[in-house]
Amino acid sequence: MVFICNKDWPITAYRTPFSITLTKNSPNKDTISLHWRK
């Protein structure tokens, strides 16, 4: 399950094989990146 409480808060990933990060590329665009956990 993935919980996104607010776009300005960290994303909590629970029981997934992914490392999830939120990158702010610009004031109007956020990018969510998924990476396999090593």
Q: What is the pLDDT of residue 30?
A: 66
- For 1-38, write each residue's pLDDT tens digit: 455 555 554 555 455 566 666 666 667 666 666 666 65
Residue 1: Cβ within 10 Å count = 7
Q: Is the pTM value of this prediction over 0.85?
A: no
Overall number of domains in the chain: 1
Q: What is the pLDDT of residue 23?
A: 65
Integer Cα distance of 3 and 28 in angstroms: 21
Which structural domain, as residue segments, surrounds residue 8?
2-36
Q: What is the pLDDT of residue 24?
A: 67
Q: What is the pLDDT of residue 8?
A: 52
